[in-house]
Chain A
């Protein structure tokens, strides 16, 4: 298993990182370039995910979908069955939006291993690194190892902390949490309704993902945090270029354009209130109408008495 993993993931990544380093002579820049390259390579996957997500959104906006939401709103199980049936008929996979994320995991793990191996801050690590360098590349690599692990304020081999008045601030972890959250929110398609399960899943992921990525950035080397940060920023540009970026998701509802329309409630609610009051009057038009029978009833009573 190790051999396969090394062959497919670790060795290509280590060598690509070292190759980029041999050109830019800076490991932070090498990670940035590497990240952008990986994003470009997985771009077709991203496009496929977007198409899947769009198809899902269109389906959920259809009248047929809305109908079954209303029809089975009290029967969750039946609703779920009907929804799955509609997914199948339309050829839509609700889990498709997760696929790029899942694909990212072996890349993330491989990149972490590549970063730690490449930095090689002690003899045994350097010994391990040479086991992963392609033989034709060893001569070149021998000329620039060990790598310079400094980038900006960071030691890329260590978790990042910036000392502010004696307190270590995990700057990269914070940036990773913020950018992961922003990216997730901007890429989330609008919900089709209160029973939209994919929207519920997306909402949960939008909370859990930033926390998880922040934990990784806090715990592991700042080189990995740099990869996350650059990946998030690039993904935003990627989605924007594809016209799929939903900036509105970032804003609170009160700040959305068309406030009056967006909040039909106040005026309309009060209007509705007036309307309902009016209709109440109509429903009970001066008691006489509401109880039209009063006068009529009474005569009957008299009649019955007689």
Chain B
């Protein structure tokens, strides 16, 4: 009986361990964090950071050219968009707290060690790499991986910084509720503004105005030189996607979820000067990716409604009228920015079998997909 009792108890404990492990893996685990894939295009090659790999694809047909690293590591995940330097390096940040430099064939050249995750893409200005980190620092690094200086914010940096047209000031949003304006000349803070809620998206920057969306369900326009509020609008849900400025208008979306994981959004077109709503469109799906605005259309993508595991890409005109929608439903979620290259629209996909879709930018027809 003693043996039987011990066996039953042991079996129970093993089962409990398995149950806890499986339920734990079902929840997002902090030790292997997850993010949204991002793509960059240069000279006919698309560079996709997605999970444990950075991969290069031929944009003509989606053929994979190379993959880095050779073997995946759950602690080393890549989600920030790869960025290319003038001398052909591919700079990409990882969740193992390192910023990597790869050559054109995907071989590692150097890495820079930070204290936290590199979640967002860096930006390169005058051969200096400005890399935001979850440790709250914006690192300025040279092309060999050496730290030149850094700026420290009060909280994690999850968004890519954006420079003004003259590339003298860098605007960095932060999870600490602030937007920072950093003078690249004297390497000091010009101004900062507390907007009352976490900001996970990059700002939109034009000559004299900076536009920011926050988790406080707000869109704000600030003066670029002093950070003074020009206008401030309330929306319904959290603003995940970066606003986009085009021809006097600001395009932005919010996201509302119910407790059954069903998402809905509103897509807004604002007068950038006054903040007045020109039009808005209710969307029966969740918009997380920023729109891509070209001369021909505005491209947005979102899931296909409550309980859906597929998504669709839409092209709309600047009055919100649909021009086309993607010819097939895309298996997976659209959480990341699109990239236009030639006659293609590249769409990175989260949680799908195919991680990158190429659509005809004029019709929405599927051209190729890549795994």
| Contacts from A to B (Cβ < 8 Å) | 3, 6-7, 11, 76, 80, 105, 108-109, 112-113, 116-117, 119-128, 130-132, 134-135, 138-139, 142-143, 145-146, 157-159, 197, 200-201, 204-205, 208-209, 212, 215-216, 220-221
- Which of the residues B5, B23, B79, B258 comes within 8 Å of A109, measured between beta carbons? B23
Smallest beta-carbon distance A68→chain B, Å: 15
Smallest beta-carbon distance A170→chain B, Å: 14
Residue of B nearest to A11 (CB): B259
Over the window 310-348 of chain B, the binary record of Cβ atoms lying under 8 Å from chain A Cβ atoms (1 yes, 0 no) is 000000000000000000000000010000000000000
Q: Interface with A: B103-111, B195-203, B293-301, which one?
A: B195-203
Decide: B16 and A134 in contact? CB cutoff 8 A. Answer: no
A–B pairs, 10, beta carbons within 8 Å: A108-B20, A117-B28, A125-B34, A132-B259, A145-B198, A157-B30, A158-B30, A159-B31, A201-B9, A221-B31
Compute how far the CA of A109 lies from the CA of B17 in the bound complex, rounded to whole angstroms.
Answer: 10
Compute how far the CA of A192 lies from the CA of B15 in the bound complex, rounded to whole angstroms.
Answer: 30
* CB-defined contacts of A120 to chain B, threshold 8 Å: 28
Question: Is B53's beta carbon under 8 Å from chain A?
Answer: no
Given contacts A117-B28, A131-B261, A215-B17, contact A124 B34 (CB under 8 A): yes
Residue of B nearest to A143 (CB): B197
Decide: B5 and A197 in contact? CB cutoff 8 A. Answer: yes
Compute how far the CA of A51 lies from the CA of B108 in the bound complex, rounded to whole angstroms.
Answer: 66
Compute how far the CA of A113 lies from the CA of B19 in the bound complex, rounded to whole angstroms.
Answer: 13
Seed contacts A126-B200, A208-B9; 15 additional CB < 8 Å A-B pairs: A11-B259, A109-B19, A109-B24, A123-B79, A124-B33, A130-B238, A131-B261, A135-B258, A142-B217, A143-B216, A145-B175, A146-B175, A201-B5, A204-B9, A215-B17
- Which of the residues B30, B117, B261 comes within 8 Å of A119, measured between beta carbons? B30
* CB-defined contacts of A116 to chain B, threshold 8 Å: 24, 27-30
Interface size on B, residues (CB 8 A): 51
Question: Is B71's beta carbon under 8 Å from chain A?
Answer: no
Smallest beta-carbon distance B68→chain A, Å: 20
| Contacts from B to A (Cβ < 8 Å) | 1-2, 5-6, 9-10, 13, 16-17, 19-20, 23-24, 26-31, 33-36, 79, 95, 117, 119, 134, 155-156, 158, 175, 196-198, 200, 214-217, 238, 240, 255, 257-261, 288, 335, 350
Decide: B175 and A124 in contact? CB cutoff 8 A. Answer: no
Given contacts A142-B217, A197-B1, A200-B2, contact A125 B23 (CB under 8 A): no
Decide: B198 and A146 in contact? CB cutoff 8 A. Answer: yes
Smallest beta-carbon distance A59→chain B, Å: 18
Decide: B259 and A134 in contact? CB cutoff 8 A. Answer: yes
Decide: B30 and A125 in contact? CB cutoff 8 A. Answer: yes
Give the most central of A76, A122, A159, A221: most B CB within 10 Å.
A122
Compute how far the CA of A142 lies from the CA of B200 in the bound complex, rounded to whole angstroms.
Answer: 12
Decide: B28 and A131 in contact? CB cutoff 8 A. Answer: no
Residue of A nearest to B116 (CB): A121
Compute how far the CA of A123 lies from the CA of B216 in the bound complex, rounded to whole angstroms.
Answer: 16
- Which of the residues A119, A124, A134, A204 comes within 8 Å of B36, measured between beta carbons? A124
- Which of the residues A7, A80, A113, A123 comes within 8 Å of B158, measured between beta carbons? A123
Smallest beta-carbon distance B284→chain A, Å: 17
* CB-defined contacts of B155 to chain A, threshold 8 Å: 146
Compute how far the CA of A297 lies from the CA of B304 in the bound complex, rounded to whole angstroms.
Answer: 112
Top 5 A-B pairs, shortest CB-CB distance = A157-B30, A122-B33, A113-B27, A124-B34, A142-B215
Compute how far the CA of A15 lies from the CA of B349 in the bound complex, rounded to whole angstroms.
Answer: 30
Residue of A nearest to B26 (CB): A113
Decide: B119 and A112 in contact? CB cutoff 8 A. Answer: no
Decide: B17 and A145 in contact? CB cutoff 8 A. Answer: no
* CB-defined contacts of A76 to chain B, threshold 8 Å: 1
Decide: B6 and A131 in contact? CB cutoff 8 A. Answer: no
Smallest beta-carbon distance B32→chain A, Å: 10
* CB-defined contacts of B2 to chain A, threshold 8 Å: 200
* CB-defined contacts of A158 to chain B, threshold 8 Å: 30-31
Residue of A nearest to B22 (CB): A109
Decide: A139 and B217 in contact? CB cutoff 8 A. Answer: yes
